[in-house]
Structures are given as structure tokens and as C-alpha cells.
Amino acid sequence: MAKYIKLAQVESTNTYLLQVAGELPGATVIYTPCQTAGRGQKGNRWLAQPGMNATFSYLYKPQGIAARQQFCISEAAALAVATVLNAECGQPITVKWPNDIYHGDRKICGMLIENSLQGRQVDYSVIGIGINVNQREFDPYAPNPTSLSLVTGCDHDPYQVMRKVCDCLEQLLARVEREGTQALHADYLSVLYRRDGQPHAFSLPDGTEFAATLIDVAPDGMLSLRHTDGSLHHYAFKQVAFLIDNSRL
């Protein structure tokens, strides 16, 4: 059973939890209605209107997860959010590799998962999650945001959304510890954004664009893409990006 600690305001729930992780038991959740300097992937900021969204971090202290298989934690977190949001809105929710959560081609949730290693094992993981719940207006520079409220046409309780996600996450992580790090992999692949057997547009950091079919994600998080010439390539996070046609949003 998770323990919840509410902070009236904090710069980043992840930063705060990383500072105190050694003093807290696993399944501790730090949450706040007002996060002033949330952090996202690639060093991006996560901007959220106070009181409108679910911004929280979950402390996980695993038993026996190897560093080379740590992506299973990301799979569990992504599946937990996707499962809850799918139930809340009654519409398909997908996971854009590695762990952004999408409704159609719009982002409804972002994550920042920071793992601390001890030798070849994961010592603890801070799973930061930001879900757009009731926010309806966004930074104009945010490329493709949406929220649960925009999808469903009604407001939701951010605290209850968070509780449902944490309950689901706890169950999924328990399954990983019972059945092994590949326990959730098929479920993760089944909800993966653009894994439909068709070629889609991607780009490399140098701006090169290409079409490829999404094949698999390895235990270490590497993405496997089959290019249109038939060759199979493997990419780490930040080595490739999905191209989204914003004119269609």
C-alpha cells in the first residue's frame, strides 16, 4: 500500500524525492498541486497549471532487477497510466516510445524515470509522472498537448486519477517481481504508438528523415525499426524521433 505525502508547492517532485529517497520506504508517493519547475525527458520542462493536473513521483525499491533490464520499470509505469486513462476516457490510449502517453497524436502524459544503480542492480527508481487532467490551455510552444478533460469534455479529480495510477503501478511492479522482467513486455507492445505493421516517418538528430516500421523494444529500451529497404536498425533514446504532422492535429 502506497504512502502519500502532499507538498503544497515544490519545484519538482522528482528532484525532491531523489533527495530523500534513502530515508523513505518503497511505494512512497510525493505529489503536489503546484509544481513550479517540473522536469521532463531530454531536459525539457514540464509546465502545468496549479491545481489542474496530476503531478507526482513514485519511489520504487525493487528486488533483483538488473541494470540492463531496467526498462521493465518504464514499461510498468507507462502501462499503469495507459490503463487508467483508457478506462477514464473510454478511448484508445497509446504509449509513444519510450513512455509518453498519447491520445491519437496528442500527448496527455509525460514521464521522467530516474534509476539509481548499485553495482549491476537497480537500487531504487523515482518514477515521475505528469498527467494533463483538467488543463485546457497550454503553452503555445508545446507541440501537441491534450488533457483528460479535453478528451472527455468534463473535469476529473486529479487526486483520484493519481491514486488509480499508483494502485495500478503497484500491481504491475509486483507482477514483474513475481514473473520476471519480461512479464509486461507483450502488453507494452500491444499499446505501443504506431506499432501497426505500417511504415511511419522518423528523423535522426541531424535532420535526416526516413520511413520505417516499428518492430520491437529490447529489455534495455532500444527501439527496433525496419527501414523500407528491409534493413533492421536499433536506436537508443534520443537517437531517433517520431515525426508528427501537426497540420493534422
37 falls in which pLDDT band (50, 70, 90)?
confident
What is the pLDDT at residue 140? 80
What is the pLDDT at residue 143? 81
Q: What is the DSSP string of 140-197?
A: TTSSSB--HHHHHSS---HHHHHHHHHHHHHHHHHHHHHH-TTTTHHHHHHTBTT-SS
Please name which of 72, 152, 166 lies closest in space to residue 108, comparing C-alpha atoms. 152
Which residue segments constitute the domains of the chain, with CATH numbers given? Answer: 3-190 (3.30.930.10), 200-248 (2.30.30)
The average confidence (pLDDT) of the chain is 93
Q: For the segment 138-159, what is each residue's pLDDT rounded down to a tens digit?
A: 888 778 999 999 999 999 999 9
What is the pLDDT at residue 49? 78
Mean pLDDT of 36-56: 73
Q: How far apart are CA 135 and CA 142, in angstroms?
A: 13
170 falls in which pLDDT band (50, 70, 90)?
very high
- Cβ contact 180:68 at 8 Å: no
Query: For 248, phi and psi rounded to 5 degrees?
Result: -95, -5
Answer whether residue 230 shows pLDDT above 80. Answer: yes
Mean pLDDT of 184-213: 97
What is the pLDDT at residue 47? 64
- Cβ contact 128:73 at 8 Å: no
3-state secondary structure of 81: helix
Q: How far apart are CA 30 and CA 3, in angstroms?
A: 9
Mean pLDDT of 12-30: 96
